Amino acid sequence: MAAKSMTLLWGSGSCPCWRAMIALEEKNLQGYNHKLLSFDKMEHKSQQVLDINPRGQLPTFKHGDTVVNESYAICLYLESHFKSQGNQLIPDGPEEQALMYQRMFEGLTFYEKLGSVIYYDWYVPEGERHDSALKRNKDGLVVELGLWEGYLSKGSGSFLAGKSFSLADVVVFPTVAFLFRFGLSAGRYPKLEEYYALLKDRPSIKASWPPHWLEGPEEELLLKDI
Amino acid sequence: MWWVGAGYKTRNVDPSALTPPSFLLLNSRPQLLLVISVTMAKDMTLLWASGSPPCWGVQIALEEKNLQGYNQKLLSVAKGEQKSKEVLEINPRGQLPAFKHGKIILNESYAACLYLENQFKSQGTQLIPEGAAEVGLMYQLIFEAQPLAQKIGEVLYYNWKVPEGERHDSAVQRNKEALKEEMKIWEGHLQGCGDFLVGKSFSLADVIIFPVFAYFIRNGGSEERYPNVAAYYKKLRDRPSIKKTWPPTWIDGPGMGTLKDI
């Protein structure tokens, strides 16, 4: 069985890892070998990761002898290789397909803007931090949230590419889940809330929900004022 | 399905791509293919800036897929034209490339490239390889190109991105070290490579990544320190799709040497 020849090294509470795990579930590849590593203990820089991914990053993924790192690459590879099993994640029709690709790649910007706020202290050494920079990053995230609220309001269906769940949802949903995990206030972004509610119980998403999130809220609610 | 031989690679032509009157007038299949390509391309518009790797990637993809003849407009980032009304109408983010195919809009270069390869699979160069390992490597490399482009930008555009009161020498130094480490990773990726980033054929990896390497070298990146990158660059710069779309503003002479110490 294909899943048995796959190995995923991952960390809990990582959007990129979560994307890969949702894709694996959607393509009916449950049963893949996996190892949960700790970012706090710097296990992403351990030899077992570096052997497969010289960048020392997670997710790190192998299928037989084929190594595919980078979460979007894993998702595209899985859909391409397992097109005919599980859910179809890339629509056939040109308009829906184009919209899916467009939202997928805007999703990278979305994640970056989110990270510039919630990971500010992780990315920026103490001596270089400025309130003005964090404020600017928060303003950037607000603009970005406005765009996605708009996309979800005007869309032709409940999913990012229209009427069907697609790779755009696989890669972007984790970012949306993070918004609410980090305290995005109820009522301010109703369409994002609706999207979150629609998908949070989808089997592939529920099955791959970050385990430490199930233990209760722990994060500082960095987004409560956004 | 139409099967075309006659010296061309066998390929399928989607009947829905035919414009009936043009097809009826033609006597030969190569002419038929040409009409289809030109018809498709005439429905496409690209707004772009010279020297921008994302814009350049889309241009290379269009050439490789035989979609010459698309409408295009060169805009100036120096004059802020990416924020002009004509761009904002297609791309509310005010960024380039901005690409339209009929009513379809694709403003992310990777999205446009993937769309073009998927929608025009059977014409021009095949840009996604066959084998699983090669497909996996191709996707991995195009996403690794994101940190590459980002780190180049962090060095080149530090003063543009970071307001004066927030600048630190330590940050500048860190960004330079990060770019050096990144370039070493790519030297490693290219070690033992043939003419292309993935296997024996030109692929989306080359479409997307060649412009980034060219941009690095253009801005002073050292060919001595990164010989594998330099060799790859020299091998591909005369490829027709690349030569034809070479940034017009680069023909006038060398760029700034900002990256010479990397």
Residue that is last in its domain, among A48, A81, A114: A81
Average pLDDT of the residues of chain A: 96
Domain span holding position A168: 94-214
Half-sphere exposure of A188 (CA within 13 A, CB side): 13
Residue B49 domain boundaries:
42-127
How does residue B32 score in pLDDT terms, banded at 50, 70 and 90? confident
**Residue B3 counted as domain residue:** no
Residues A55 and A157 in one domain: no
Domain boundary among A31, A55, A81: A81
Q: Does residue A108 sit in the same domain as residue A38? A: no
Same domain? A18 vs A102? no
- Percent of chain A whose pLDDT exceeds 90: 94
List chain A residues with CB under 8 Å of B118: 90, 97
pLDDT in tens, A113-133: 999 999 999 999 999 999 999
**Each residue's pLDDT tens digit, B94-106:** 999 999 999 999 9
Give the lowest-confidence range in A19-28, B20-29, B226-235: B20-29
> Mean per-residue pLDDT for B45-49?
98
Strand, helix or coil at A185? Answer: coil
**Partner residue facing A80 (CB), from B104, B135, B142:** B135
Q: B169 lies in a domain?
A: yes
Domain containing residue B180: CATH number:
1.20.1050.10
Eight-class DSSP state of A79 = H
Of B127, B162, B184, the position where a domain reaches its end is B127
B38 or B159: whose pLDDT is higher? B159
Has residue B80 been placed in a domain? yes
Q: How many domains in chain A?
A: 2
Together in a domain, A52 and A19: yes
Tell which of B97, B112, B127 closes a domain: B127
What stretches of chain B show up as alpha helix (H) in DSSP? 20-25, 29-42, 53-64, 85-90, 109-119, 132-156, 158-161, 169-190, 204-218, 227-236, 240-244
Q: Domain check: are A69 and A129 in the same one?
A: no
| Main-chain dihedrals φ then ψ at residue B247, nearest 5 degrees | -50, 120
Query: Residue A59's domain is classified under what CATH number?
Result: 3.40.30.10
The reply to whether B245 and B138 lie within a common domain is yes
Q: Note whether B123 and B136 are same-domain residues.
A: no
B18 falls in which pLDDT band (50, 70, 90)?
very low
CB within 8 Å of B185: residues ≥ 6 apart = A54, A55, B144
Is residue A219 one of the residues assigned to a domain?
Answer: no
The answer to whether residues A58 and A122 belong to one domain is no
pLDDT of the residue at B7: 32
Tell me, yes or no, whether A13 and A59 share the same domain: yes
Q: What is the pLDDT of residue A135?
A: 97
Domain boundary among B127, B162, B182: B127
Write out the two tokens for B133. 């390992």
The type of residue at A170 is: V
Task: Tell me, yes or no, whether B92 and B159 share the same domain.
Answer: no
Q: Is residue B103 located within the same domain as residue B154?
A: no
- Domain presence at residue A89: no
pLDDT of residue B6: 34
pLDDT of residue A219: 81
Distance CA B81, CA B115 (A): 26
Interface of B with A in 121-150 (CB under 8 A): 128, 132-133, 135-137, 139-140, 142-144, 146
**CATH number, domain containing residue B109:** 3.40.30.10
Instruction: Kindly state whether residues B108 and B143 are assigned to the same domain.
Output: no
CA of B114 vs chain A CAs: smallest distance (Å): 8
* CATH number, domain containing residue A127: 1.20.1050.10
- Does A77 map to a domain? yes
Which of A66, A92, A100 to mutate against chain B (most B CBs within 10 Å)?
Answer: A66
Position B196 in a domain = yes
Residue A101 lies in a domain: yes
pLDDT of residue B2: 35
Residue A155 and residue A201 in one domain: yes
Predicted local distance difference test score (pLDDT) of residue B191: 95
Report the domain count for chain B: 2
Q: Within this chain, do residues A63 and A168 fall inside the same structural domain, yes or no?
A: no
Same structural domain, B69 and B121: yes
pLDDT in tens, B144-203: 999 999 999 999 999 999 999 999 999 999 999 999 999 999 999 999 888 999 999 999
A99 and A63, same structural domain? no
Give yes or no: residues B98 and B137 share one domain.
no
Nearest Cα of chain B lies from the Cα of A58 at a distance, in angstroms, of: 13
pLDDT at residue B27 greater than cutoff 70: no
Q: Which residues of A touch B140 (CB under 8 A)?
A: 67-70, 73
Average pLDDT over residues A192-196: 97
Same domain, A113 and A194: yes
Q: Per the domain annotation, does B13 fall within a domain? A: no
For A161-175, the pLDDT digits (tens) are 999 999 999 999 999
Parallel/antiparallel/unpaired status of strands B11-13 and B44-49: unpaired
Tell whether A224 is covered by a domain.
no
Query: Which among A58, A81, A104 is the end of a domain?
Result: A81
Segment A10-35, tens digit of pLDDT: 999 999 999 999 999 999 999 999 99
Mean pLDDT, residues A50-72: 96
Q: Is residue B10's pLDDT more than 60?
A: no
Q: Does B88 touch chain A (CB under 8 A)?
A: no
> What is the band of B26 on the pLDDT scale with cuts at 50, 70, 90?
low
Measured in angstroms, the CA of A215 and the nearest CA of chain B are apart by 33
- Please answer yes or no on whether A130 and B171 come within 8 Å at the CB atom: no
Check whether residue A75 and residue A177 sit in a common domain: no
- Residue-level pLDDT at B37: 73
The pLDDT of residue B3 is above 70: no
pLDDT in tens, A144-160: 999 999 999 998 899 99
- Best mutation site among A58, A70, A97 for testing chain B: the one with the most B CBs within 10 Å? A70
Q: Is residue A7 part of a domain?
A: yes
Which run of H or E residues covers position A133? helix A131-154
Asked if residue B204 and residue B107 are part of one domain, the reply reads: no
| pTM score above 0.90 | yes
B35 confidence band (pLDDT: 50, 70, 90): confident
